[in-house]
A and B are shown apart, each in its own frame.
Chain A
């Protein structure tokens, strides 16, 4: 054994975190082409939503009476409405609100359902009974009806729309999370944690929460599409986001149906935008579910 020569062992550089993520991402795209397509659709909308002024060629609010009810053309991609406003710019304008309302309402609703579900499942007993009964009451009213009633009571406002839609997800999230908690609770490590004297709070946060994240994200991502549909339906019925904030649903009410005969593009394109975004969320949510829980009912 010579001490002078070092046997050159080729050092394989440990893969950096970034390239690990990249490979994981590429694997996701390869195995779930639809999910990747959905993600792409969503990201496209997000980019448009973030850079709205960049994408708007015309002012979406000020009328231009020289170009009323024009069909799609090179100057006005999607045509104009009865005030001469560029439809493309108006649809682009609605992107932000749709994304904001859907993300916010799903975040609030599912997180609330997450915590209530964990409490309900972990503590059981009377807490569980009371919460379950409340959920049953809430679930006896179909989501949209409750949202309509709430919006009429609250009055107009984006924040109220968010709360109204958020409430429709709490019930389902609570039930799903409760179910997951019930099965996680059976694990030995929970018993072990209790044995070494961990407080309930610590067990819930440190042991249960991380292990129910997967079903939680699945519930949350499936809710996103529904949130957009609810927001657009509420806006269509006049109970959603108030003017002047643009909203795809509201663009389809009122004047759109009035002028539908002569300007069908007014009816077509905002709906296409809604469908696009919902489709993207649904495809991505489905893929998430297939990746994380193939046991769950999926389309695979």
Chain B
């Protein structure tokens, strides 16, 4: 198990490097860089090319591409994620500053999503064909189809029109300002959660239905076990295993949802930071953020793979 773990972790590194390299190349592909943004010139205004060249040299973006990439890359193990091209400050600082907000929103969304999704799926499978089942399936497919940013807009509009109130803006940490923080994050979290809930409900429903058809369930019932025992001891345990894999799937949609929701609700998290950096062509910030996002994604995948192998003895046996 140890060797397996170590091998897997090492295999992550080339993947992460590949991901950052990919985004690095994408961002550099087109002419035009941050200098036009920084110099603040209006459209059509002539900027002194010497000024631009000096700026580029200061920022280090005039060096050959591979030099830029490698210098950045070797700084990472030292903990240096580069300096933002926008404000010359270490990107790390801004990321640490904003990270808790997005992380909190994501955790809230994931918790709510599973909290509502799992029972919904389970009940739906157990009461298949009844109105509960139909209702939950209807609700699920609705939330799957509705774009999250639209739901966000609807919620904001509704709040403003009906209660004359909007969630607080600005930077509110949970431990500094719990009231504002929760009021700010609960709505976007709920919306992201609704999408996730739909996925979880559908998945858990279908795996449960499959498990319910299995022979060993029939055996358990034939043995005379009470239905509740059958469900709890056999059905649930076996249906929840594939649900773990949804966790890894959902991280992707959580991250994407975070980016969009932070834009709609003006939340200063790393999702919004990514959007801003991309539009400002702040290469260093984008690279660092992509590294963070990809790392989170990849680590969660690894954790779910391990959990999967641990839970299903058949897998860990080989």
A interface residues, Cβ below 8 angstroms from B: 133-134, 136-138, 140-146, 148-150, 152-155, 225, 229, 232-233, 236-237, 249, 252, 256-257, 260-261, 264, 267-268, 270-271, 274-276, 278-279, 282-283, 297-300
Q: Which residue in chain A gives the minimum CB-CB distance to B19?
A: A140
Are A138 and B154 touching (Cβ within 8 A)? no
Q: Which residue in chain B gives the minimum CB-CB distance to A238?
A: B279
CB neighbours of A261 from chain B (8 A):
157, 160-161
CB neighbours of A155 from chain B (8 A):
30
Checking B23, B137, B141 against A141 with a beta-carbon cut-off of 8 angstroms, the contacting residue is B23
Q: How far is the CA of A142 from the CA of B30 in the complex (A)?
A: 22
Interface 0/1 of B199-212, CB less than 8 Å to A? 00011011100100
CB of B197 to closest CB in A, whole Å: 15
CB neighbours of A150 from chain B (8 A):
26
CB of A300 to closest CB in B, whole Å: 8
Closest 5 CB pairs of A and B: A271-B150, A137-B18, A279-B145, A142-B252, A144-B256
Q: How far is the CA of A232 from the CA of B149 in the complex (A)?
A: 9
Checking A133, A134, A225, A257 against B153 with a beta-carbon cut-off of 8 angstroms, the contacting residue is A257
CB neighbours of A256 from chain B (8 A):
153
Are A283 and B141 touching (Cβ within 8 A)? yes
Q: How many interface contacts (CB-CB < 8 Å) are there between A and B?
A: 143
Q: Does B231 contact A (CB under 8 A)?
A: no
Q: How far is the CA of A268 from the CA of B274 in the complex (A)?
A: 28
CB neighbours of A237 from chain B (8 A):
260, 263, 275
Question: Can you list 10 A-B pairs, Cβ within 8 angstroms, ordered by A?
Answer: A140-B16, A140-B297, A141-B19, A142-B255, A145-B274, A149-B278, A153-B30, A229-B147, A236-B149, A278-B146
Q: Could you tell me the dominant secondary structure of chain B's interface residues?
A: helix
With A143-B256, A152-B279 known, 16 other A-B pairs at CB within 8 A are: A133-B14, A133-B15, A136-B18, A140-B15, A140-B294, A141-B23, A144-B260, A153-B26, A225-B144, A229-B147, A261-B160, A275-B142, A276-B145, A298-B206, A299-B202, A300-B206
Q: Which residue in chain A gives the minimum CB-CB distance to B32?
A: A155
CB neighbours of A297 from chain B (8 A):
203, 206-207, 210, 242
Q: Does B61 contact A (CB under 8 A)?
A: no
Are B14 and A152 touching (Cβ within 8 A)? no
Are B293 and A148 touching (Cβ within 8 A)? no
CB of A15 to closest CB in B, whole Å: 34
Interface centre among A137, A232, A271 (most CB of B within 10 A): A137
Interface 0/1 of B24-60, CB less than 8 Å to A? 0011011000000000000000000000000000000
Q: How far is the CA of A136 from the CA of B256 in the complex (A)?
A: 18
Q: Which residue in chain A gives the minimum CB-CB distance to B161?
A: A261
Q: Does B156 contact A (CB under 8 A)?
A: yes
Interface centre among B147, B148, B154, B253 (most CB of A within 10 A): B147
Q: How far is the CA of A229 from the CA of B206 in the complex (A)?
A: 24
Q: Which residue in chain B gives the minimum CB-CB distance to A263?
A: B157
Are A252 and B149 touching (Cβ within 8 A)? yes
CB of B107 to closest CB in A, whole Å: 17
Are B279 and A145 touching (Cβ within 8 A)? no
Q: Which residue in chain A gives the minimum CB-CB distance to B27?
A: A153
CB neighbours of A152 from chain B (8 A):
27, 278-279, 281
CB of B200 to closest CB in A, whole Å: 13
Interface centre among A140, A150, A300 (most CB of B within 10 A): A140
Q: Does B290 contact A (CB under 8 A)?
A: yes
Q: Does B259 contact A (CB under 8 A)?
A: yes
CB neighbours of B183 from chain A (8 A):
none
Q: How far is the CA of A299 from the CA of B263 in the complex (A)?
A: 33
Are A144 and B206 touching (Cβ within 8 A)? no
CB neighbours of B203 from chain A (8 A):
297
Are B18 and A133 touching (Cβ within 8 A)? yes
Q: How far is the CA of A264 from the CA of B144 in the complex (A)?
A: 23
